[in-house]
Amino acid sequence: MGNMEWFSVGFRMICWLCFVVCVGGIGANWGTQTSHPIPPNTVVQMLKNNGFQKVKLFDADEGLLNALKKSGLEVMVGIPNDMLAVLAASTKAAQNWVSKNVSEYINDGVNIRYVAVGNEPFLQTYNGSFLQTTFPALQNVQGALTKAGLSSQVKVTIPLNADVYESSSGRPSDGDFRSDIRGLMLAIVKFLSDNAAPFTVNIYPFISLYSDPNFPVDYAFFEGNSSAVIDGTTSYTNMFDANHDTLIWALKKNGYGNLPVIVGEIGWPTDGDMNANPQYAQRFNQGFMNHILMGQGTPVRPGPIDAYLFSLIDEDEKSIQPGNFERHWGIFTYDGLPKYQLNLGTTKSGGLVRALNVQYLDKKWCVLKPSVNLDDSRIAPSVSYACANADCTSLGYNTSCGNLDAQGNISYAFNSFYQKNDQDAVACDFSNLATITEKDPTTGTCRFEIMIVADSGMSWNLPRSPICSHTPCFMEINEYLLRCKRLNKMVTMRISFKIE
Ligand SMILES: *[C@@H]1O[C@H](CO)[C@@H](O)[C@H](O)[C@H]1NC(C)=O
Ligand SMILES: *[C@@H]1O[C@H](CO)[C@@H](O)[C@H](O)[C@H]1NC(C)=O
Ligand SMILES: *[C@@H]1O[C@H](CO)[C@@H](O)[C@H](O)[C@H]1NC(C)=O
Ligand SMILES: *[C@@H]1O[C@H](CO)[C@@H](O)[C@H](O)[C@H]1NC(C)=O
Ligand SMILES: *[C@@H]1O[C@H](CO)[C@@H](O)[C@H](O)[C@H]1NC(C)=O
């Protein structure tokens, strides 16, 4: 090794030490809205191999929490919004929840540190559905933690979207809570403060760029070359700092300037929109990591930033109502491959480490038969059926498969449906338009996926209800056969599970 190399190793070592000591580690969001989840033990190993120290879950899934036993990872468990009403109405329900989903796991060696009560419950798109229940649920869960003797070890919080605060002038120093929920927010903030609990906020420069074509692109990133937002003596050249500090000002103004803040979700998607690509995602996430690795914080909140990347793995069953990008937030693909170079400051290689020992189905794909005439009237309904029941979010303008020709497009849709149905031959028929091939149709950036072997412990969710009413009869028959097969498989799995 030459001097330079020693220097570089030494430097990496210092960075790593500083990262662990000064920052307290980086976290990841682990969502499970996937048709074929990677086995939880594999994911936990992947988290550890990548030097993540914390993980945030969206519920209290038994499979995930069992895999996290004795992993050493700090865990934030979540309460889904649809449970808030029950927990708000009954202290007993909250006690049961804490007993089953916190105490028991802690006794088994899961390092639970936070309970996330709801997930972005005050989003404007929810029309106020959770305004009445979130705070009482928070209070009941806190009460239950106290009763269980866990109140110093486990903190409550509510992951909130950054839309709970605003600044009339656009300057962070004019930040305050959204006027329609200001009273409620102040009550919550006081409660968090009284219980030494953190405020959790999700910040998404990507969404700002997605929803506003005039949003200055460079301002979403961290190179510091965007024209600045001037706020008194401070100038902001990236949206993260400005948005974060709008919250700090809102807290400060209301007497809670020292309340700890966690960045619950931050990230950038890689597909499904013209601004969602691996280049931008790399630029954003690496910029963010470099920013927090320096440990400087933001202009009005200097010091380490506690953050959870969104997200660890792509989720092919997320709702695409907000946009096609929703299924592509992972820094890893559905099968645990790194999507781009990302140095978290935690691994020896300085890169991401893939999931180990993932099991794939056979090297087979479903494609449009080359002999089929593209004018065939059965093609369009077949494609829309495949897309509605599988995943075509990588097709479209400026996406990873945006440059396919018509034939490629159709094949992509067919293959997605076929893989999602575990390569069942019935799922590659489409009125005899489709055929199975062993030749990989992948081209350039467009990956024709092969599905992984679904983790049997997690795939209990019943098949979705089919969207059959306007599809040709053959599809209903296909759907029927597939459902029967899947049900049989599930019954078999259940039985073998019981026998074990
Ligand atoms: C524990 O959490 C799971 C997953 O969110 C939930 O289904 C279950 O009802 C909870 N248990 C209790 C006793 O509330
Ligand atoms: C919210 O209200 C709008 C308009 O009234 C409606 O279209 C939408 O479905 C509602 N959303 C929810 C989650 O209730
Ligand atoms: C800012 O920096 C990025 C990355 O180096 C570059 O792609 C972009 O063109 C720069 N923008 C300006 C306005 O200089
Ligand atoms: C979008 O697609 C066009 C044409 O294929 C290409 O020139 C352009 O660079 C793409 N833009 C992005 C942001 O990928
Ligand atoms: C491929 O499919 C996408 C999405 O369905 C569509 O926008 C695009 O026009 C199609 N391209 C071709 C060449 O058919």
Token digits for 392? 């075509």
Whole-Å CA distances, 56 to 17, 160, 349, 433:
23, 14, 25, 44
pLDDT digits (tens, 9 = 90+) for 417-457: 999 999 999 999 999 999 999 999 999 999 999 999 986 54
Among the bound ligands, the one closest to the CA of 379: 5
CA of 275 to the centre of ligand 4 (A): 10
Tell me, using a 6 A CB cutoff, whether residue 237 lines ligand 3.
no
Question: Residue 392: what pLDDT?
Answer: 98
Kindly state the percentage of the chain with pLDDT values over 90: 85
Element (H, E) at 156: strand 155-157
In single-letter form, the type of residue at position 346 comes to: T
Of 285, 450, 485, nearest to 359 (Cα)?
A: 450
For all residues of the chain together, what is the average pLDDT? 90
CA of 267 to the centre of ligand 5 (A): 28
Length of the chain: 500
Say whether pTM exceeds 0.75: yes
Question: Residue 454: what pLDDT?
Answer: 80
Question: Residue 338: what pLDDT?
Answer: 98
Among the bound ligands, the one closest to the CA of 218: 3
Of 286, 469, 437, 465, nearest to 365 (Cα)?
A: 437
Tell me, using a 6 A CB cutoff, whether residue 7 lines ligand 2.
no
Q: Can you tell me which atom of ligand 4 is nearest the CA of 398?
A: 1
In single-letter form, the type of residue at position 134 comes to: T
Tell me, using a 6 A CB cutoff, whether residue 274 lines ligand 4.
yes
| Count of CB atoms situated within 10 Å of the CB of 193 | 17
Q: What share of the chain is helix, strand, coil (3-state, %, to 5)?
A: 40, 15, 45
Tell me, using a 6 A CB cutoff, whether residue 153 lines ligand 4.
no
Answer yes or no: are the C-beta atoms of 197 and 305 closer than 8 Å: no
pLDDT confidence of 173, banded at 50, 70, 90? very high
Question: Residue 25: what pLDDT?
Answer: 87
Tell me, using a 6 A CB cutoff, whether residue 407 lines ligand 1.
no
Domain 20-327 has what CATH class?
alpha beta
Token digits for 173? 């120093």
Active-site residues, by number, are: 120, 265
CA of 412 to the centre of ligand 4 (A): 20
In the chain, CATH 3.20.20.80 covers 20-327
| Count of CB atoms situated within 10 Å of the CB of 465 | 8
Kindly state the percentage of the chain with pLDDT values over 70: 86
CA of 369 to the centre of ligand 5 (A): 18
Average pLDDT over residues 462-491: 47
- Phi first, then psi, for residue 245 (nearest 5°) are -75, -25
Tell me, using a 6 A CB cutoff, whether residue 100 lines ligand 1.
yes
Residue 57 has pLDDT above 80, yes or no: yes
Among the bound ligands, the one closest to the CA of 279: 4
266 three-class SS? strand
